[in-house]
Structure formats: structure tokens, C-alpha cells
Amino acid sequence: MKNTVITLLIFFSAFHISAKEGMWIPLLLEKYNFSEMQQMGFKLSPQDIYDANHSSMKDAVVIFGRGCTGELISNEGLLITNHHCGFGQIQSHSSVEHDYLTNGFWAMDKSEELANKGLTVSFLEYMEDVTEKIMEGTDALEGEAKANKIKGNTDKVNSDASENGKYKTAVKPLFYGNQYFLYVYKVYKDIRLVGAPPSAIGKFGGDTDNWMWPRHTGDFSIFRIYADKNNEPAEYSEDNVPFQPKKFFPVSMKGVQEGDFTMVFGNPGSTTQYWPHQAVDITMNQRNPDRIALRDKKLEIIGADMDADPKVRIQYAAKYAGISNSWKKWQGESKGLKRLNAVNTKLEFEKEFKNWAEQNGSWESTYKPVFENFESQYANYAKYIKASDYYSEVVFRGVEVFRNARLINTIINNIENKQNEKVESLRSAALGGLSAFFKDYQQSTDEKLFAALLPMLVDGLSPEFLPEELVEMVNKSDGEKLLDKVFRKSILTDEMKLRKVLESGSEKQLLKLRKDPVVALFNQLNFKYEADISSVVAKVSDEITEGMKVYMAGLMEMKKGQSFYPDANLTLRVAYGKVEAYEPKDGVEYKYYTTLSGIMEKDNPAIYDYDVPERLKELYTAKDFGRYEVNGDVPVCFSASNHTTGGNSGSPVVNGNGELIGVNFDRCWEGTMSDIMFDPERCRNISLDIRYALFLIDKFAGAGYLLDEMEIVY
């Protein structure tokens, strides 16, 4: 009985306001959260956080790129985010001759800032509850007819809000479709790199320290947003001028103390707090182990080649970091879920839900069919998502040359369908991407991935999910023979040959590429995936979502009067908590902060990720800390109890006065299961202390002119 009570308490934490848990919609803070925030130390108003008609904090926060957050820190468009969020841009500008990854980069005036093709930042103009508009005319409809009506309504809402393309819009379902919100963004496209510390600072500790506390990582980079002369979005131009924001964050030199109020304001990507037990079981016992094993092999191969060749290290730095990040997170997530006895915790709560539904007479008619369907749906889902995970890790995110095969395959399909305009557009796009692909491509590394991953695909999946030709080929050939038969006979690894065909090849010549062995193999794999795997995953996922919509409505009714936060979906949210230490396991107790002294203790010139730059050692030895000194040291990072996830990388961490005290960049490994189940004792977010960023900009990089743009508060 005692264990049952404990597990229920853990699960119930998802259904009440907690100082530590929740990713809240800023538009609704006054209704649900503001009183508690005040009690914890927040001194401003809800309108200071979000106001659609006047400047507020939301105007200083952006979606950076495709999935991070950034924040404005000057009235000249200066933006700070994480080093790992800007890593791809830093890497793209790097070469053996100009190794900005190793040495860092700092523009000493605006003329030295580096443009970044394709990088955007998105400002939220406003959000709006559009549930009634989306559901209009759907009461009498079911199934496909209802889905089509919802889609039509959604398209209209998006179209109206976009104002003929002036804004980017998104209607997103909350609570599995029980509510819909519209998000309207203004997107800026001229974003320039201003500064980034060396990776030995910005990525200090590398994958060893990733997701871990204590951290000593200076995980930040600086960019600047440019606009046209009217302060509106524009493509890159030398005539563009620094963007003038409606709002930017004052930067605090006051520091943090344990128990201080903290708020993280960003764009968390995805959480699944309300999953039933079957989904947790599949993730913990199937999906995570499968994906970890496949990434083990990828990291082993790429890591060895990076260690052996400085050129490969630069080429594959961003790729390796991307593979490693989720790989390590999944390990911590599974460990945390097991510690919380997550599957049984969910089962116990589902029993409570059943009792509630039986008491009000809704179980048999409304909820029992949903739970019965979950049993069969998740059994089917487990089978097909396993195949999907393998294809994702091997075919679509593993063997690199398959990316070129996908491009060629798409061009050929459009030739066969007589889509001439599309063919020319695709040719142009493919040609435009070739240089970038081959700049960061090493054929020998990809050969090793090909030889190792294809046998893992065949061994890991049932034959029904595999092309017969592949199974036969892998079973009859070792890795070297496989390479000779397929990989080394392809032109897709030869930039010059591929460029020539794409530039001047006739349609007939392009169609002949169907016979290229890599293109042919990819086509077989892709056809099998689309015909027999992805379509089933999508269908079953839709069925599960329909059931979750009913279940979620029941949960909201069961807990009526209590506040709910919707799962994260890469939209603006507020998380609040306090500066807080923690105990990761029995007998271990951590402080809430780290310092420059800790960096020096970890210094190891023999290890790339721990090789502290000489300039930083000089500053430390001389105790040349300037105004950033605290008790004879420099603060580096701090931990707090804000509920964060992917997408919160780069988010501003502010104090009760709305002043920037840190930049969020990670979570503690023991708490990475917080996407699925939150544990207030172990879940901590990790932030860069903004004073360390200022110290590095000023004393280390000598770019103190950037601080002159900021409003620094003492």
C-alpha cells in the first residue's frame, strides 16, 4: 500500500500547480499562476511577461533557428543563445585554416560579423485561443469528414492571420485536440555571427559532461539580427541595419543565491506528461534501447575518425554532437523512469481514473472502449515503431550518401511525372546544397557507417520490414564486399561527377541514375518504409491520439478546478522555480553553483574537450577577474528547479525583476525523464551564469565593446 501511495503522489504532481513543475501558457499566467509566482518572489505583472498590444518580455524572446530559443540583450539586435544552438553556424564558417570551433570567433566591430545563410529567428507577435473557430461545424461529423473540416478551418485561420504572407502562422492543438491555439510570428532572415568562445569553453566537458551536474560549460554564442531600413525582415544585404527590438533584457550582475526566484521563458519542444502506461513501457524498454544501440555504433565510428584526423573532427563536430545529445539523454531518461517505477505509477493512476469514471457512470460508455483500444493499438504501434526507429537511424540519419540518393530519387520521380518546373527547381536546390554536403563529408567514414549499419538493420528487424534483395545481399556479403558491390560503384560520393549530371545531364541521363547501386538500394528501402511502415505508424498514431483526446478530456473533468499545463509543442511557455541544489543519489549532495576553479581542476590538455585555453589559464593564475569576481572566483553555472526540455536551450533565465541572470542550456541526467514524468527531487535545469558570459566577452575575448550595448544592472 505504501508503494502505491508514493507512485500516485509522483503522478499527481502532474495535475496540480507546483513551484517546480509545468510549462505554462504566458497568456494564461494571470488566471492560473501569478499568485504563486508573487509568493515565490516575482515582482512584475503578468503584462510585463506577455502583452500583445504593448512591449513585454515576449518581444525579447525568439525561436532561434529550427528548435532553440534566443533572447535580445541590446537595442541593436544583439542576441544571446547557446553555443550548441549556434554550433552549426560556427562549424560552417570553420576550416583547418580558420578553426573557429577550436579557437573561437569574435567580431571586433559590425563589419566583421559573419552572415549565416538559412538561419532565421522568429518573434511571436501574438497567440490566441481559436478552439471555437477550429471546431466550428464539426459537431455532427465523425472520422475523416471531421478531420477534413478541422483542416479546412485551420487553413482559413492560418490564411487570415498571415496577412498575405506577412507573418508565419501555426495553429497547434493542445491537450490532444481539446483546445487549439494560433501563433503568429514575424521571421527575420539576416542573422550574423558576432562571437563564440572556443569549443573548449562553449562545449567544455563535451559528451562526458553533457546532461551532467556539476557543469563548467560556457555554453553561449552571440548573434545580431539585421533588418531593412524600416526595421522589417529582409534577406541578407549590406544595406541592412541592426534590428531595433521592442524589448530587450537588462543583464544582471547581482548574481544568484539558493532559493531565489527563477523564470525560464522559452520554446520547449516536446513533452508527453499524460501518456498511458503502454507508451511509457514502449519508450523505456524498446525504443530507447534500440536507438541507443544504433547510435553507439555511429558514435564509435565517427568518434574514431575524428580523433585520427583534425579535418574530420571539424567536418563531423556538429553531426557527432547531434547524435550524442539524444543518445545520452535517452539513457538518463530510461534510468529515471525505472527509478520512478513509471509504468506501474501510470497503471495505478489509470485505476484511480477508472474508479472515478465508474462512480460518475461514464466508464462503460466513454472510457472503457478507449482503454481497450489502447491495448491493441499500442501492441501494433510497438511493432511498427521499432521498424521506423531502425530506418530513421540507419537510412535517413545514418548512411550519409543516402541523402544524395533521396535527392536524386525525388528528381527522377518528378521527371517521370512530367513535372518539368519542379525538376528544374529540384536540380537547382540539389546543386546549391552539394558544396555544403561535400565540405563536411568524408567518404571513408561513410563507408564504415554503411558497412556497419546495414547489417544492424537486417539483424534488428523482421524480414517483413526489409527488401528481400538487401537481406540476401547482407547475408551473402561481408562489409568489404558490400562496399565493393554497392557503395564504391556509385557516383553519389563523387562531387564533380554528380555536379556534372545535375548541371548539364539530360533527362535521359538523370533517369539512368535509377541504376546507380546506391540510388537503387535507397529506392528499395524507401519504398518499403513508405508502403509498409510509415503509413501504419501514422494511422495507428492518429488512432491513439483520438483516444488520448477522450482520455485527456476525462482527466480535465476529473481534476476540474485544478490547473493543467499542456504538453510542450515548440511554442512560448513560462516555467518558474527557484535556484536549488539537489541530491542525485543516496549520499551525494551537490551545491547549486560552479566556479572557474572547477574548470581548472578539470583541465587536461590531452583531451580535446577538457583542454582549457591558455588565455583562460592566464586570467585565472593572475586572478584577473575584474568586476566579475565573487569571493575570489568567477561564477560559471547554476542549477534550478524550472521544468525545461529540448527547445529551451538558449532560453533566458530571469530573476524576480525580469533581469537576465542566466542562459538555460541543459538538464541534470537523473532528471531527463521529466519529459514524461517529473520528479521534484531530481529534476533540475542547468544554466550558464550570465556573469561568466560577460567575463568571457570582456576579459577573455577583449570584445568589451559589446557590453557597452547592454543595460547592465548592479
Grid cell locating 478: 561481408
Residue 127 has pLDDT above 90, yes or no: yes
Residue 15 has pLDDT above 70, yes or no: no
**Secondary structure of the chain: what % helix, strand, coil (to 5)?**
55, 15, 30
Q: 71, 659 in Cβ contact below 8 A?
A: no
pLDDT band at 561 (very low <50, low <70, confident <90, very high): confident
Residue 11 has pLDDT above 70, yes or no: no
pLDDT at 464: 96
**Predicted confidence (pLDDT) per residue in 572-584, tens digit:** 999 999 999 989 8
**Predicted confidence (pLDDT) per residue in 360-370, tens digit:** 999 999 999 99
pLDDT at 616: 98
**Mean pLDDT value of segment 694-710:** 98
pLDDT band at 586 (very low <50, low <70, confident <90, very high): confident
**Predicted confidence (pLDDT) per residue in 302-354, tens digit:** 999 999 999 999 999 989 999 999 999 999 999 999 999 999 999 999 999 99
Residue 20 has pLDDT above 80, yes or no: no
pLDDT at 418: 83
**Mean pLDDT value of segment 249-254:** 98
Q: 31 or 457: whose pLDDT is higher?
A: 457
User: How many residues appear in the chain?
Assistant: 714
**Mean pLDDT value of segment 682-701:** 97
pLDDT at 419: 81
DSSP symbols for 61-99: EEEETTTEEEEE-STT-EEEE-TTTSHHHHHHT--SSS-
590 three-state secondary structure: strand
**Mean pLDDT value of segment 612-634:** 97
Task: Please tell me whether the peptide bond between 268 and the residue prior to it is cis, using omega within 30 degrees of 0.
Answer: no
Percentage, residues of the chain above pLDDT 90: 89
**Predicted confidence (pLDDT) per residue in 342-352, tens digit:** 999 999 999 99
Q: 544, 377 in Cβ contact below 8 A?
A: yes
Please give the helix or strand (H or E) that residue 106 lies within, else none.
strand 105-106
pLDDT at 458: 97
pLDDT at 319: 94
pLDDT at 8: 36
Average pLDDT along the chain:
94
Tell me the catalytic residues.
84, 219, 649
Q: Is the dihedral of CA 559, 561, 567, 569 positive or negative?
A: positive
**Mean pLDDT value of segment 431-446:** 94
DSSP symbols for 614-682: HHHHHHHHTT--GGG-BTTB-EEEEEE-----TT-TT-EEE-TTS-EEEEEEEE-GGGGGGGT---TTT
pTM above 0.85, yes or no: yes
pLDDT band at 497 (very low <50, low <70, confident <90, very high): very high
pLDDT band at 2 (very low <50, low <70, confident <90, very high): very low
Residue 18 has pLDDT above 80, yes or no: no
Identity (one letter) of the amino acid at 24?
Answer: W
Strand 190-196 vs strand 114-115: parallel, antiparallel, or unpaired? antiparallel
Percentage, residues of the chain above pLDDT 70: 97
pLDDT band at 7 (very low <50, low <70, confident <90, very high): very low
Q: Is the dihedral of CA 234, 239, 244, 249 positive or negative?
A: positive
pLDDT band at 608 (very low <50, low <70, confident <90, very high): confident
Residue 683 has pLDDT above 90, yes or no: yes
Residue 16 has pLDDT above 60, yes or no: no
- Of 144, 127, 243, nearest in space to 184 by CA: 127
**Mean pLDDT value of segment 681-705:** 97
